[in-house]
Homo-oligomer: A and B are copies of this chain.
Amino acid sequence: MPYDPSAFPPFAVTVDLVVLTVRRHSLCALAVRRGEPPFQGRWALPGGFVRADEDLSQAAARELAEETGLRVHDPAAPAQDNGAHLEQLATYGDPERDPRMRVVSVAHLALAPDLPAPRAGGDASNARWAPVEELLEEGLGRDGEQAAPLAFDHGRILADGVERARSKIEYSSLATAFCPPEFTVGELRRVYEAVWSVALDPRNFHRKVTGTPGFLVPTGGTTTRQGGRPAQLFRAGGATLLNPPMLRPEV
């Protein structure tokens, strides 16, 4: 296959972001309202064009910072935390996915702790955290505004991102990316419960996470911010893979 410069069609390349967080016991995604056609007024995932001189991950990190102010957690400097986890999710390139032109979108998945408020270029009314079920629901929305379906193929992208997050917290320590730098076992458990939409036994969960070497390191402090007996505070340990994995209950 010769590299004839006239032999390949030009594409636009974008990054779209599935930004997930846990708010009030429910898994939420960041959605922005489209201000222009197509799909004007509808909700979509944040994203934008990849610039001529930046890598895909750089573009994703830039878009994430523009939409949320989050910096990406630097694996080299885990001390200063509160950054988000960012990874590539998948690429979507159906010829019909954008009615205007041929656009290939490299979707990324970002996980962040609960944030004060979204900001989309300073315009708060055009960005929101919405429960993922609400953004993904097939049928009609409830009263007020209808969130679903998302613009373009963003519903599919969001579903893929949610599924990635749900499965990845099984065998990795990724759930800590939803937590503040210091957190309790109970807070971590509520993350799993929100992401999986299940109830977990607090005693077995405690045994599992504290018994997995390298998963959690105690900071020595305690907190009562959840009420009840004071709980130990932990930071995420160095381990990234959980072996054996956390088992997701049936259904």
Contacts and interface: CB of A to CB of B under 8 A. Distances in A.
Interface string A182-226: 000000000000000000000000000000000000000000000
B1 A49 contact: yes
A26 interface: no
Interface residues of A, number: 34
A133 interface: no
Interface stretch (A8-16, A111-119, A143-151, A229-237): A8-16
A51 B8 CA distance: 7
Secondary structure class of chain A's binding surface, majority of residues = loop
A106 B90 CA distance: 9
The 10 lowest CB-CB distance pairs between A and B, nearest first, are A10-B10, A9-B52, A8-B49, A56-B93, A91-B91, A11-B13, A1-B48, A8-B12, A11-B11, A91-B106
Given A11-B104, A56-B92, 13 more contacts: A1-B48, A2-B36, A5-B101, A7-B49, A8-B12, A8-B14, A9-B50, A9-B52, A11-B50, A13-B93, A50-B93, A56-B94, A104-B106
